[in-house]
Amino acid sequence: MKVLDKGYVNILDILGSDLTVVNSARVSFDKSVTSLSDSDESLIDYLIRNKHFSVLRHCAISFEIYAPLFVARQWWKHHVAATAVDEQNGWNESSRRYVTEEPEFYIPGSWRAAAENKKQGSSGEMDPHISAKYNSLLQYFAETGIYAYDAAMKDGVAVEQARMFLPAYAMYIRWRWTASLNALLNFLDLRQDDHAQWEIQQYAQVIGAEVERLFPITYKAWMRNGT
C-alpha cells in the first residue's frame, strides 16, 4: 500500500481475528465458539468499554514499512509500548552497515509553516513558490550527499562510515514491525489524530483501514468507546 511519494506499508503476517478476542475472554469460563453472534459483538464492546485489553494481545499483525527516518523515530515509541517482556523484540530495521541499496529521500509535495506556538506541529501549507524553493534545496542536499557517499565507497571507505554523508531525516528506511491488536489500536488513537505530524498520519490511515478490515467488530467497538 503506497504512502507518501515513495513509501509503503506491506502486511506480512496476521495472527487472530475478532473470534480470537471473543474466545480469549470466554476461556475464563472454559468456553469457546466457532462463529460470532450478536452476543459476541456485545461482549467485545463490553470488554473494550471496561478496558479489559488483555484479550486484544492474542491478535497481532506483522508489517514491513518503508518511511522517512523522522517518521520511523516517532513510530519507535510504539515499539517500546508494544513490548510486553524484554525478550519480545518486534522491530527489525535494515542497516546501511550491511546494505548499499540506492538511497531514496522524501520530497514533500508542499512545505508547512511553523506553528504559532513555535513548539511543535505546523499551521498550514506555505506559498507554492516557497515550497518549490525548498524542494529544490532538499533535492540538491540529497544529491550532494549521495555523490559523496558513492565517491567514498569507490575509494574503498567502509560502508558503515560512508553512510554518514547521507542526509538522515529525509532518507527512507525499511523495517519490520510486529504489534498486538492492543498496541495497534493505541497507535491509531495517537497517530490518526489531527495533532500528529501529517506524514505519520498518512501511514496511520493506511494501517487503520487494514485493522478495520481484519478486525472489524473490535475496531468499531474501540472507536465507539473512545478508548
pLDDT digits (tens, 9 = 90+) for 118-163: 566 676 777 889 999 998 998 898 899 989 989 998 999 888 888 8
Please give the pLDDT value at position 148.
Answer: 92
Q: Is the pLDDT of residue 188 over 90?
A: yes
Give catalytic status of residue 191 as yes or no.
yes
Report the DSSP beta bridge partners of residue 63.
11, 177
Helix, strand, or coil (residue 59): coil
The C-alpha cell at 199 is: 506524514
Under the banding of pLDDT at 50, 70 and 90, the label for residue 117 is low
Identify whether the C-beta of residue 187 lies closer than 8 Å to the C-beta of residue 207. yes
* Angle subtended at Cα 183 by Cα 181 and Cα 185, rounded to the nearest 5 degrees: 70
Q: Please state, in angstroms and rounded to a whole number, the distance separating the CA atoms of residues 199 and 70.
A: 9
Question: Given 26, 57, 96, 191, which residue is catalytic?
Answer: 191
- The pLDDT tens digits of the residues spanning 84-103 come to 444 455 777 777 766 677 88
Mean pLDDT, range 25-46, rounded to an integer: 87
Q: Is the pLDDT of residue 114 over 90?
A: no
Q: Is the pLDDT of residue 220 over 90?
A: yes
Identify whether the C-beta of residue 49 lies closer than 8 Å to the C-beta of residue 225. yes
- The pLDDT tens digits of the residues spanning 36-70 come to 898 999 999 999 999 999 999 999 999 999 999 98
* Angle subtended at Cα 125 by Cα 202 and Cα 136, rounded to the nearest 5 degrees: 90
Please give the pLDDT value at position 80.
Answer: 57
For the chain, what percent of residues have pLDDT higher than 90? 50
Identify whether the C-beta of residue 173 lies closer than 8 Å to the C-beta of residue 96. no
Please give the pLDDT value at position 85.
Answer: 44
The C-alpha cell at 119 is: 513548539
Q: Is the pLDDT of residue 77 over 80?
A: no
Q: Please state, in angstroms and rounded to a whole number, the distance separating the CA atoms of residues 102 and 202.
A: 24
